[in-house]
Structure 1
Amino acid sequence: MKHTEIIKKMTLEEKASLMSGKDFWQTQNIDRLGIPSMFLADGPHGIRKQQAAADHLGLNASLPATCFPTAATVANSWNPELGEKIGRYLGKEAVAQKVNVLLGPGVNMKRSPLCGRNFEYFSEDPYHAGKMAAGYIRGIQSQGISACVKHFAANNQEERRMSIDTIVDERTLREIYLTAFEIAVTEGKTKTVMSSYNKLNGEYTNENLHLMREILRKEWNFEGVVVTDWGGSNDRVAGLLAGNELEMPTTAGETNEDIIRAVRSGELKEEVLDECVDRLLELVFSTEEVFKKISSTEFDAEEHHRAAREAAEESIVLLKNEDHILPLKAGVKVAVIGDFAQNSRYQGAGSSIVNPTILDHTLDYLQEAGIASVGYEPGFERYGKRSQRKIDRACALAKQAEVVLLYLGLDEVTEAEGLDRQSMKIPQNQVDLLHELYKVNSNIVVVLSCGSAVEMPWIDKVKGLVHGYLSGQAGAGAILRVLSGKVNPSGKLAESYPLRYEDTPAYYHFPGKEVSVEYREGLYIGYRYYDTANVEVLFPFGYGLSYTTFEYSDIQVIEEGVVFKITNTGSRAGMEVAQLYIGCKTGEIFRPKKELKGFTKVSLQAGETKTVMIPFDDKTFRYFNVKTDRWEVEQAEYVIMVGASSADIRLTETLVVEGTNAPLPYDQEKLPSYYSGQVSKISQEEFESLLGWKVPVPTWDRTKPIGYNDTIAQCQYAKGAFARFAFHLISFAHGFLWKIGKRSTANLIMMSIYHMPFRGIARMTGGIVNMPMLDGLLMVVNGQFFKGFRHFFKERAKMLKLAKSNN
């Protein structure tokens, strides 16, 4: 341990106090020992530091900070160096605001396009996500503070995220859902990891010894701090035993007492507590050093804004360019239509919401971009209400133009933390507008603003399609520079776009609605499924167009990797993302048809040729063997594929690889669907053969009393009439608020009340309600109305008396 001398001077009470927050965002300080508090702040794509009225849902304003493009956007750059550059700027702003730990990046997989937080995550591919995250982490931590990779692990739905049990087989867990975290830890060297809310195969992640001790600490040699997601602690002592040092936010000392009792009873060895304290102290002292060196708390907002614009420019994806309608020709008369042109949709909603320092708007930058506008019309109501008057006005304007720039997308309440999307469609009123515009002007270029994949049955009605994703505070100007040709687009999709939601592999098992969610599709998420099962998609993983063209040639496979040439065969400079995929030819162990194992971004002048190498690494040929319980290499002939997307393979070669002679892990006869890749409808029996154990009953036991980890939604079947009435009142309030247009407030009810486990009431209220008081509430819920309220108020009086005596 590094801080033995300080720890020797600490009382048991002081050690316990360090293990949970002082308030909503700060850790506990101990002045007599010179231990300061740390400040933790949200910040995957911009600092969200709140100084008053703290919350974890993005409700109250934070200090101004640069809003960079979201992770889902920058992922499309396929450029870890760009991620590192953004990380450096994020780190500088964190230092300026005296933030010790920046809570990001997020690397959870895009198992389903409907996960409400996909805008905050990089990719459907773990290798890609891990490499991008490692870049961010290196950049953030180069400034002396800590990044915090999240949410560890298998947190791939927002609905019921605080209580859902993720059921996933070990190989899928390792290869798909942990690999990005592994890269973030081993290559990015993150100092902090955030545990997720959910259970993993029956245990809360922050109490899961296999996940926290065996994998994170032992296999990956992680020596940093694990912090709970806010309110994500269930059993505080079990969390400490698993190595989850820091619980956030404060519980006003309640869980400190749990720790003290556990040490005194022998349930928790004090040496284990000391190890946790030591790791936390190392994080506190190492990040605090940088604040002693800074002379100013200012940063250059204009410089950071320019960096945000450059990041957006490199991440924008050109998806369609029929008749070379883009870039727009000089002097072409353009009608700008769509509410998102006036009021940019540039970031997500929830804990990552940023108060931007500057905010570009499309209508202010048309002239600067050299675009000749004949006018603007909103065309549609932002939140889905149909307006024929707005459609008519938009069509009248479109008749005056040669090209229509139509800004479509998803609104802020559709993509939000705590909620999953209900469909992959964009609102019907926007589609109606598009169809009407097409009748009067077929030269339509759609600019899409959303943080995740959407269905596009209307795509045949547009000639150009530019996807900006959620491109940050400078995104509006960046998109115009692409449209006008000042920037050659180089973004490529980091997720597949299915033709329809029903084609997705998790369609029948997303989200988990009650007790659990079963990952029956196993390894086959995203392109791994579509390519293996031969399912047609709208746009494949890795797809993106350019204003120039590229030719691949002269592949050579050497011991260190694959070497080939790329030539810019067009008339203007551009950047190309070359992707390395590997496929195994034996078929003895089921695997996807191809898997991403490397990528590089190459900048080329017109006519220029470059020789490119993509190296092999320890992840190129490995698979996780559930019999040996370790990573193995199958002896086989492998297809080495280099392409412009997962569906556009330009060069192939084969390579025989020596294996590790591990025993075959599966009985092929019991897993026919996994060997064929046809996993959209896996039977329970076959899934259990893959798991090696029986799946839990996925529905609530409505005969049992409601307990700490049951949600408020479960009051619908509670024994107590008061609880059932409260449930119906909550449901009515949600529906009513949604109907009258107060959708953000309606969402808040679902996020912070409806799906909240009862223990969350104690964990998230900063000591206003403690666990004994919660016992009283549960008595009321379970039919003991008077006894429950008497208990609640008795315990509250006891708590207030104790607080008064301590003061």
Structure 2
Amino acid sequence: MSRDDVAAVVAELTLAEKVGLVHGTVDAEGTATGFVSGVERVGIPPIRLTDGPLGVRTDEPATAFPSSPALAATFDPDLAERFGRALGREATARGQDVLLGPGTNLIRVPHCGRNFEYFSEDPIHAGAFAAAVTEGIQSAGVVATPKHYAANNQETGRAEVSAEAAEPVLRELYLPAFRDAVEAGAGSVMSSYNRVNGTYASEHERLLTDVLKGEWGFDGYVVSDWFGTESVVDSATAGLDLQMPGITVPELLESMGIPPESLGGIGGGPDGTESEGDSPQGLFDAAEDSPFAGGMPDPTSGGRYATDLGPAVERGDVPESRLDDMVTRILRSLDAVGHLDGETSDDGEASGDEKAGALDTPEHRDLAATVATRGSVLLENDGVLPLADEADVAVVGPNVDEALLGGGGSSEVTPFVRTTPREGIEARAAGAVTVARGLPRVEGISMFDAMGGAGGPATEDADAPDDGADAGPGESVEVEDAVAAAAAADVAVVFVRDRATEAADRDSLRLPGRQDELVAAVADAADETVVVANASGPIETPWRDAVDAVLAAWYPGQAHGEAAAAVLYGDADPGGRLPVTFAPEDAYPTADERRFPGVDGEASYDEGLLVGYRHFDATDAEPTYPFGHGRSYAEFRYDAVEAVGPSTVEATVSNGGDRPGREVVQAYVEAPDAADIPDTADTSGTPGDRPRPPRELAGFAAVALDPGESATVEIDLDDRAFGRYDESAGWTVDSGAYVVEVGRSSRDFRGRVSVER
């Protein structure tokens, strides 16, 4: 359908029909996260929207892929494009038209409960993955929705907190990944709950209209986060195009199949309606001492497009031309993926061969396992890995009998299959395997627990103690049991985990419960100890000097056990590199409460550009493991590094070891004025007086090498690594010579070259 055709369809619609296309309503089939009624009279079918970034979340199973940091740790955008295409194909197979992902926010706060949905602390790295996943989703005939625009970098108080960030900081750090996703063809962008410099993102005309739709040329639509609209007129005129979910709390409960009375009064009166004296938060109300306090939206605060937008248009408060634009943008994006061509049946299931939907295919299972293995980051290895096939192994950890699929919230997925660490190692080991959990199961946490368990597969209790959860009747799970098993084995492999969820932030980077104590005790008893850390992001590792190997394996998804065994036994090289810096929690710039969680409803971003590795490079703070770090079973040598132009460098890399491996070659641009950077930086000044980080990632490339093999890797340098943003001049680049450092991480360089700009 051409633009003229879309315009002709819009011209045929009545005011009521147009309003009906810009807000959600109840999905009678109960298969979608969000649902928009079509207009059968003019051939517009219903629109179904589904979570999420780690797998398709409906009421049916789907492939549960690894978390976003695991994908980003591969430093392989081609793999990310395949990941996105698989998400799109599974969404199509479930009759969904729009997928609410990828998560595109920068990882600013290491405690952020939703970091497992985001890619990286670096904007160029995050943008490469946001673009690749977006391209993959769209290529499968599904609208991608990068989220949450913009500066949604914490869950604490996310419904109200204002990210106070200077324009250059937004432009250089927090917006680039969204622009990359838009340029990759995203048909939709989701606005965030939070405020940006005092204005709610859903009614931020500067961000939605001037930047996104104007400067970037985005011709798709902006959708609100669920219950994330704070107004009708202000949001519509600012650039919000689709309000979600567009229904009341009782209707939401009904769509979930939950009788309102079963929630014990949460959400209003016994019939689900709000009664005098009830909290306006209704279903989403959280006690002040709840981990979800301030993280849940107010579903009654902003008015409803369904009832209020039409009258606003009739009064002239919202021009009808703006409503036409809202509808046009939605239809244009849906037409681009074939949704207006009749390729989806009335019951929501994909029909015909036009949209090649597929679920739980061998390809998707292999892809989930590949991401989990290639994204595993070997932080330490004193020669214990890979494990000998015949080694007697003690498998230790409170959660060795479950696959860690992800964090809590809207990205939760129920898989068709899963393998646990115990199962993976028992299937692979040739020696004896002894399992000793050592501690009771560490319970996960989910925002759905604050909703009476509504809305997802989460069954874990948010209030369960994380050091003494249900161990089963009569079962003794003591640290001493694990110590005995470790002492009797050749090697102990300890699996540990954190707890993370949407709508709440982690209260510490330490492992919950007694897991640190467990690791230390096992390491003291065992001949050799390996720790596998399944985490949403950075954790503290107080026991690292006592163990022989540390593997950061993130949330591995359904292939948890399979992937762990493959890496531990050397069937796959741990090809991952850190997309975030690991450090003690008081070493991050957000250790200042003004910056996180904020004071008086404002989170100051006055650290400026010094986020992640930029902060550690610019200050005396030492990371435990730097951005880009990761070891291999191979032994790589950099034979030559040279510049082949102003925008390209080459590195010749050899594998001098006896095992195949995969090296990630990273290029960092050193700023000409990076010297003498203060501990904090106000980046609100002009390009000439704003301090810069000492270096910034400009590009990367991966290469797989067999023993004795060498290859020359070419890295294209992103222009943005040389640029600065000024509010009056826009993007500028200082002319002169720039040093480009090439190596294995942000702290491990193997060559330096100079390029002219």
Tell me which interval the TM-score lies in, with the shorter structure as reference length: 0.7 to 0.9
Q: Is the 8 A contact 2:524 2:546 kept in 1?
A: no
Q: CA deviation at 1:599?
A: 0.6
For residue 396 of structure 2, the aligned residue among 337, 353, 359 is: 337
Change beyond 3 A, Cα 1:371–1:462 = farther
What is the distance in 2 between the residues matched to 1:103 and 1:602?
A: 32
For residue 660 of structure 2, the aligned residue among 544, 561, 573 is: 573
Q: CA deviation at 1:38?
A: 0.6
The one-letter code matched in structure 2 to 1:31 is: E
What is the distance in 2 between the residues matched to 1:433 and 1:444?
A: 12
Q: CA deviation at 1:37?
A: 1.2
What is the distance in 1 between the residues matched to 2:637 and 2:72?
A: 24
Identity over aligned pairs, percent: 36
Change beyond 3 A, Cα 1:626–1:4 = closer
Q: CA deviation at 1:409?
A: 1.4
In structure 2, what is the equivalent of residue 210 of structure 1? 206
Residue 224 (structure 1) aligned with residue 220 (structure 2): yes
Secondary structure at the residue paired with 1:566? strand
In structure 1, what is the equivalent of residue 679 of structure 2? none
Q: Which moved more, 1:220-229 or 1:606-615?
A: 606-615
Residue 234 (structure 1) aligned with residue 237 (structure 2): no
Residue 369 (structure 1) aligned with residue 428 (structure 2): yes
Q: Is the 8 A contact 2:191 2:225 kept in 1?
A: yes
In structure 2, what is the equivalent of residue 314 of structure 1? 374
Change beyond 3 A, Cα 1:563–1:389 = closer
Q: TM-score, normalised by structure 1?
A: 0.77
For residue 600 of structure 1, the aligned residue among 663, 684, 701 is: 701
What is the distance in 1 between the residues matched to 2:467 and 2:720?
A: 49
In structure 2, what is the equivalent of residue 505 of structure 1? 589
What is the distance in 2 between the residues matched to 1:260 and 1:488?
A: 58
Once the two structures are superposed, the pairs formed by residues 489-528 of structure 1 within 5 Å of their partners are 489-498=574-583, 500-508=584-592, 509-512=595-598, 514-528=600-614
What is the distance in 2 between the residues matched to 1:333 and 1:616?
A: 47
In angstroms, what is the RMSD of aligned CA positions?
A: 1.8
What is the distance in 2 between the residues matched to 1:197 and 1:581?
A: 34
Q: CA deviation at 1:177?
A: 0.4
For residue 359 of structure 1, the aligned residue among 396, 418, 438 is: 418
Once the two structures are superposed, the pairs formed by residues 621-770 of structure 1 within 5 Å of their partners are 621-628=722-729, 630-657=730-757
The one-letter code matched in structure 1 to 2:401 is: Q
For these two proteins, the number of residue pairs brought into alignment is: 638
For residue 536 of structure 2, the aligned residue among 451, 463, 467 is: 451
In structure 2, what is the equivalent of residue 90 of structure 1? 87
The one-letter code matched in structure 1 to 2:189 is: V
Q: Which moved more, 1:487-496 or 1:562-571?
A: 562-571
Q: CA deviation at 1:513?
A: 5.2
For residue 263 of structure 1, the aligned residue among 306, 309, 313 is: 313
Once the two structures are superposed, the pairs formed by residues 156-555 of structure 1 within 5 Å of their partners are 156-186=153-183, 188-251=184-247, 254-287=304-337, 288=339, 289=341, 290-291=343-344, 293-294=352-353, 299-322=359-382, 324-383=383-442, 384-385=466-467, 390-410=478-498, 414-498=499-583, 500-508=584-592, 509-512=595-598, 514-555=600-641
Change beyond 3 A, Cα 1:263–1:540 = same
Deviations along 1:486-529, one digit per CA (max 9) or x if unpaired, are 1111100000001x111101111211254211112111000001
Q: CA deviation at 1:534?
A: 3.3
Secondary structure at the residue paired with 1:206? helix
Secondary structure at the residue paired with 2:732? strand
Secondary structure at the residue paired with 1:366? helix
Change beyond 3 A, Cα 1:620–1:297 = closer
What is the distance in 2 between the residues matched to 1:257 and 1:430?
A: 52
Q: CA deviation at 1:371?
A: 4.5
Q: Is the 8 A contact 1:584 1:637 kept in 2?
A: no
Change beyond 3 A, Cα 1:302–1:654 = closer
Deviations along 1:733-761, one digit per CA (max 9) or x if unpaired, are xxxxxxxxxxxxxxxxxxxxxxxxxxxxx
Residue 619 (structure 1) aligned with residue 720 (structure 2): yes
What is the distance in 2 between the residues matched to 1:254 and 1:403?
A: 60
Q: CA deviation at 1:297?
A: 6.4
Q: Which moved more, 1:125-134 or 1:505-514?
A: 505-514
Secondary structure at the residue paired with 2:129? helix
Secondary structure at the residue paired with 1:235? coil
What is the distance in 2 between the residues matched to 1:34 and 1:184?
A: 30
Q: CA deviation at 1:373?
A: 3.0
Q: CA deviation at 1:217?
A: 0.8
Q: Is the 8 A contact 1:553 1:651 kept in 2?
A: no
Unpaired runs of at least 5, structure 1: 50-61, 658-807
Change beyond 3 A, Cα 1:449–1:371 = farther
Deviations along 1:739-793, one digit per CA (max 9) or x if unpaired, are xxxxxxxxxxxxxxxxxxxxxxxxxxxxxxxxxxxxxxxxxxxxxxxxxxxxxxx
Q: CA deviation at 1:298?
A: 5.2
Deviations along 1:169-204, one digit per CA (max 9) or x if unpaired, are 011110000011111111x21111000011111111
Q: Is the 8 A contact 2:221 2:333 kept in 1?
A: yes
Q: Is the 8 A contact 1:586 1:636 kept in 2?
A: no
What is the distance in 1 between the residues matched to 2:394 and 2:718?
A: 50
In structure 1, what is the equivalent of residue 76 of structure 2? 79
Secondary structure at the residue paired with 2:640? strand
Change beyond 3 A, Cα 1:400–1:617 = closer
The one-letter code matched in structure 2 to 1:558 is: V
Which of structures 1 and 2 has the bigger CA Rg?
A: 1
Change beyond 3 A, Cα 1:298–1:561 = closer
For residue 120 of structure 1, the aligned residue among 117, 120, 137 is: 117
Change beyond 3 A, Cα 1:564–1:439 = closer
Residue 19 (structure 1) aligned with residue 22 (structure 2): yes
Q: TM-score, normalised by structure 2?
A: 0.82
For residue 143 of structure 2, the aligned residue among 135, 143, 146 is: 146
The one-letter code matched in structure 2 to 1:424 is: L
Return the structure number with greater helix share.
Answer: 1
Change beyond 3 A, Cα 1:432–1:206 = same
What is the distance in 2 between the residues matched to 1:118 and 1:298?
A: 28
In structure 1, what is the equivalent of residue 11 of structure 2? 8
What is the distance in 2 between the residues matched to 1:570 and 1:446?
A: 24
Q: Is the 8 A contact 2:424 2:564 kept in 1?
A: no
What is the distance in 1 between the residues matched to 2:406 and 2:306?
A: 37
In structure 2, what is the equivalent of residue 804 of structure 1? none
Q: Is the 8 A contact 1:584 1:636 kept in 2?
A: no
Q: CA deviation at 1:389?
A: 5.4
Q: Which moved more, 1:527-536 or 1:249-258?
A: 249-258
The one-letter code matched in structure 2 to 1:581 is: Y
Q: Is the 8 A contact 1:47 1:93 kept in 2?
A: yes
Deviations along 1:554-600, one digit per CA (max 9) or x if unpaired, are 22213241122111121121110011110122355411000001111
What is the distance in 2 between the residues matched to 1:84 and 1:402?
A: 41
Residue 99 (structure 1) aligned with residue 100 (structure 2): no
Q: CA deviation at 1:302?
A: 3.5
Residue 562 (structure 1) aligned with residue 678 (structure 2): no
Secondary structure at the residue paired with 1:652? strand
Q: CA deviation at 1:367?
A: 3.9
Q: Is the 8 A contact 1:160 1:513 kept in 2?
A: no
What is the distance in 2 between the residues matched to 1:254 and 1:535?
A: 48
The one-letter code matched in structure 2 to 1:209 is: E
Deviating beyond 6 angstroms after TM superposition, the runs of 4 or more aligned structure 1 residues are none
What is the distance in 2 between the residues matched to 1:429 and 1:100?
A: 44
Q: Is the 8 A contact 1:586 1:637 kept in 2?
A: no
Q: Is the 8 A contact 1:346 1:449 kept in 2?
A: no
